[in-house]
Amino acid sequence: MADGQGGVRVLGMEELSKLSLEQIRQVKEQVDAELNLLQDSLTNIRTAANRFEMAAKALNTLSQQPAGKKLLVPLTASLYVPGKLENTGKVLVDVGTGYYIEKTLPDGKDYCDRKINFLKENHDKLVEVAAEKRNASEQVTMLVQKKLQQSLPAK
């Protein structure tokens, strides 16, 4: 019942209806687990895209500032130190796992824009997959209910 992408391939309704109630419940649990994982991934992608959008806005603001301007430099989310803007033409870009690359301001903006587009494309693909999984989960839920009703003794 596994598909080629590491997930559970939901059988057709006819095939599922041949399974025992316990087997159908196991399929439901697997589909729900995959749906939860997809939802977590969507949240992570949205968070990352928001960070890159904030970085792009910061670069736009930076490009409009003169050299020598006094500002507060964030050390953590709640700790700032006073600083002075020396060079508005170059920025250090965090490319992951502790690596930074010096880029010009336009190259930094381009990097952020490319990352935002990449994340949005992946987000859109995951939304489609999540919708399919949600539909599969609903179908399996209906089948479980149907099997339960069939197993009840008739009055």
Mean pLDDT by groups of 10 residues along the chain of 155 residues? 47 77 88 94 96 94 89 92 90 92 95 96 95 91 86 70
Q: What pLDDT was estimated at residue 22?
A: 87
Three-class DSSP category at 103: strand
pLDDT at residue 37 in the model:
95
Q: How far apart are CA 93 and CA 79, in angstroms?
A: 21
pTM of the full predicted structure?
Answer: 0.74
Residue 10 per-residue DSSP state: P
Question: With b meaning 16 or more CB within 10 Å and e meaning fewer, what string describes 87-126?
Answer: ebeebebeeeeeeeeebebeebbebbeebbeebeeebeee
Position 2 scores a pLDDT of 43
Domain contains 153: no
| Number of structural domains the chain divides into | 1
Q: Flag whether 4 is in a domain.
A: no
pLDDT of residue 21: 83
pLDDT of residue 10: 53
Q: What is the CATH number of the domain that holds 69?
A: 1.10.287.370
Q: Which residues contact 95 (CB under 8 A, 6 or more apart)?
A: 101
Task: Kindly state whether residue 3 falls inside one of the protein's structural domains.
Answer: no
State the residue range of the domain holding 128.
13-147
In this structure, which long-range contacts are made by residues 16-21, counting pairs with CB atoms below 8 Å and at least 24 apart in sequence? 16/140, 16/143, 17/143, 17/146, 17/147, 21/144, 21/147, 21/148, 21/151
